[in-house]
Structure 1
Amino acid sequence: MYLSRRSLWVLFACSLLLILSITSCSGLGAPPPSDSVNSMTLNVGQTSSAVGYFPLYVALQKQYFKAQGLTLNPTVPPVLGTGAKMAAAIESNSIELAGGGVITDAFTVSRIDSQIRLLGALTNGYFIDVTISKRFAQQAHLSAASSLEQKVKALVGKKIGITSPGSGTEALMIYLFRIYGYDVKRDAILVNLGGTETAALAALSTGRVDAISFFSPAGQEAEAAGIGDLFISPDRGDIPAMQGQLHGVFYTKQTVIDTKPKAVLAFIRAIAQAEDFIQKQPDQAMGLLEKYLHLRDMQVTRPVFDAIGPTFAQNPQISQKAYDEANEFHLKAGLIAIALPYKDMVATDTIKKALSQRLSS
């Protein structure tokens, strides 16, 4: 039995409150000291080690945070695992800045906290793909060149692996089914596989699921191992309405911007340096990507980089167009009830100030 969207939201809220109470009791939620305006230390976390958060890894490896005079505490941002845990950490102040997350999570937590602000773009592209098993591919008689409608229709009645309810992997399936008049929770079987690529690929290879909705490089790994085919890829252009939409982001609360302005500006500049490096040094960036994703060799790394490389943001600035496309996607996927205004969510002035100081940094 599947839970309704309302029920899932209630569960999320209850989980958030529980985690908040625990972190508050531990003292992690204490407000920052009054002299923090000059602080150059930030507590930063990331949701997972997904490919979309690669600019954060580059900034760490190239020591761009240090170059900006910023200290991360801890030095390597902890991986929290889920958007709900990140939301709880942000709300309790145990994490001051989400250095690697998706706009889905920022939208979700903004429903209970109007202080949430987007500080910059990591990717302008949805780095989640639908990959099908070899057996399903043979039965469907479809290929990457088949129409999107044919592909979605073929998924009706199938078992589809996702990371978890309320995730971007589920949102993609809801969206795809809805645009052709289907309901994925009624017309397919969603299987929660957790956030590890290993589990997703194992489920695909053993027949536990017919397809997976999972972040890159799962599709490329499946093809390299001969266990599946990349079926639907937003970054490949298979879903025109999703091309260029804001997805990977970093965000914080307005209170952190107000209390640690210098540290926040330095963080934005460091990410800008990382994004510039990725754009201008693709060969070196590819080598770092291989290490970041623990890929076996260039047979997998190059297809991953070719697919997602163009979607990495050229700089942290968030365009109105990319934001509006993300808003529209989340509305159609049922993840938000009303469009969230750009001016309310994006810390435009903060981003502009950071980037204006970039050349002198």
Structure 2
Amino acid sequence: MRKASFLVLFSSLLIVLLAACSSDSDETTSINIGEVTRSVFYTPQYVALEKGFFEDEGLDVELQTTWGGDTTMTALLSDGIDVALVGAETSIYVYAQDSNDYAVNFAQLTQTDGTFLVSKENVENFEWEDLKDSNFLGQRKGGMPQMVGEFVLKQHGIDPHNDLNLSQNIDFANIPSAFATGDYEYVQLFEPTASVFEKEGNGHVIASFGEESGHVPYTVFMAKQSYFEDNPENVKAFTRAIYQAQQWVEDADPEEIAEVVQPYFDDVELDILTSSIERYKNQGSFATDPILDEEEWNNLKNIMDEAGELPEDVPYEDVVNTDIAEEIMNE
């Protein structure tokens, strides 16, 4: 009788232990991402979500769009989000404010500018000097699109503030509609808006700022220094998932990629989404690995300095950490 009772007790304990082990193995870690805007430009991030790469790493990722660099960094610094997807220039602005817990860039997502020069009229045999004296609708002052735009224009001998009738007073979200309805002749637009304008006959893509400006850490995942130090395994798992997504995007064809990320762009037709992704792939906008190298960092500082927006010479090693990314790539 005692033997039977012991066996029952042992079996019960074994079931409890197995259940506990199963629960531990299924345990996930929550990470909140704040993306600066919703953009086809961030395709590898949506691939990581949709293909289950984060889940495979034991991460339960919640994505929210925080609309704007200032809002995104405020959310990060106040612990409203764990990880920010935003332009690397924002980490320079925060560092320059003598923050005690500044942002550290740990995984690069895009490596070129993502805007295209769009003209209202079809311009044949376009030359950059054609822009002189034109009504040009620019991006927000101090943001990467505007700084890269000015950098490229100056490379082509155009002073944007003296040679153009430059407007910078339109909010990012309203730039496309302002261009369509206003008397502007040229504008910088991201995809898929540029392709939509072409399809509807409201504009013509005539040049790429991404191709003209070279590699730059345009959009980067960053976390506060304290989060990075307290949660290295989370950062490692996150970076591994992003690297998997980057490799998958590199190998997949644009239509397959578009089908995967379409849930994030309900109002964009599949053919437009496909052509937008193809355009970004062709010009190498999607980073194929998470490394933000020092040459790219220096290019970013040159662009900011040229625009008069570099607050100080922020050292690469202070706000960029590639240790985890390099470790993952060597696995």
Q: Same fold (TM over 0.5)?
A: yes
2:237 pairs with 252, 261, 266, which one?
Answer: 266
1:175-214 equivalences under 5 Å are 175-180=151-156, 182-186=158-162, 187-196=164-173, 199-214=174-189
1:110-121 equivalences under 5 Å are 110-112=95-97, 113=99, 115-121=102-108
Superposed CA deviations along residues 8-63 of structure 1, whole A, max 9, x for unmatched, are xxxxxxxxxxxxxxxxxxxxxxxxxxxxxx99332321110122222211111112
Partner of 1:344: 318
Task: With the length of structure 1 as denominator, give the TM-score of the two structures.
Answer: 0.75
Unaligned regions of 5+ residues in structure 1, if any?
A: 1-37
Q: Is structure 2 residue 56 aligned with structure 1 residue 67?
A: yes
Letter paired with 2:92:
F
Report the Cα offset of residue 79 of structure 1: 0.7
Partner of 1:313: 287
Q: Distance in 2 between matches of 1:58 and 1:299?
A: 18
Report the Cα offset of residue 163 of structure 1: 4.3
Report the Cα offset of residue 185 of structure 1: 3.4
Cα 1:43/1:300, change in 2 over 3 Å? closer
Letter paired with 1:331:
D
What is the SS of the residue equivalent to 2:58?
coil
Q: Distance in 2 between matches of 1:324 and 1:69?
A: 35
Q: Is structure 2 residue 248 aligned with structure 1 residue 277?
A: yes
Report the more deviating stretch, 302-311 or 158-167.
158-167
* Conserved? CA contact 1:51–1:127, under 8 Å: no
Q: Distance in 1 between matches of 2:311 and 2:143?
A: 16
Q: Is structure 2 residue 74 aligned with structure 1 residue 84?
A: no
Cα 1:316/1:275, change in 2 over 3 Å? same
Letter paired with 1:56:
Q
Q: Is structure 2 residue 220 aligned with structure 1 residue 249?
A: yes
Letter paired with 1:189:
L
Report the Cα offset of residue 356 of structure 1: 4.2
Q: Distance in 1 between matches of 2:274 and 2:267?
A: 10
Partner of 1:108: 93
Q: Is structure 2 residue 305 aligned with structure 1 residue 331?
A: yes
Q: Is structure 2 residue 203 aligned with structure 1 residue 218?
A: no
Report the Cα offset of residue 68 of structure 1: 0.3
Report the Cα offset of residue 176 of structure 1: 3.3
Structure having the higher Rg: 2
Partner of 2:111: 124
Report the Cα offset of residue 69 of structure 1: 0.7
* Conserved? CA contact 1:121–1:249, under 8 Å: yes
Superposed CA deviations along residues 141-166 of structure 1, whole A, max 9, x for unmatched, are x43x53xxx42x33333333244232
Superposed CA deviations along residues 237-264 of structure 1, whole A, max 9, x for unmatched, are 3x2xx22222121111211111111111
Percent of aligned positions that are identical:
20
Partner of 1:229: 204
Cα 1:39/1:253, change in 2 over 3 Å? farther
Report the Cα offset of residue 85 of structure 1: 0.6
What is the SS of the residue equivalent to 1:224?
helix
Partner of 1:49: 38
What is the SS of the residue equivalent to 1:78?
strand
1:22-41 equivalences under 5 Å are 40-41=29-30
Superposed CA deviations along residues 186-218 of structure 1, whole A, max 9, x for unmatched, are 44231433233xx43332232342222222222
Q: Distance in 1 between matches of 2:256 and 2:139?
A: 31
* Conserved? CA contact 1:130–1:230, under 8 Å: yes
Letter paired with 1:42:
I
* Conserved? CA contact 1:59–1:65, under 8 Å: yes
Unaligned regions of 5+ residues in structure 2, if any?
A: 1-26
Q: Let me know the Cα RMSD of the aligned residues.
A: 2.5
Cα 1:248/1:158, change in 2 over 3 Å? same
What is the SS of the residue equivalent to 2:119?
strand
Task: With the length of structure 2 as denominator, give the TM-score of the two structures.
Answer: 0.81
* Conserved? CA contact 1:316–1:351, under 8 Å: yes
Q: Distance in 1 between matches of 2:192 and 2:276?
A: 6
Cα 1:251/1:158, change in 2 over 3 Å? same
Q: Distance in 1 between matches of 2:300 and 2:41?
A: 15
Partner of 2:19: none
Partner of 2:20: none
What is the SS of the residue equivalent to 1:192?
coil
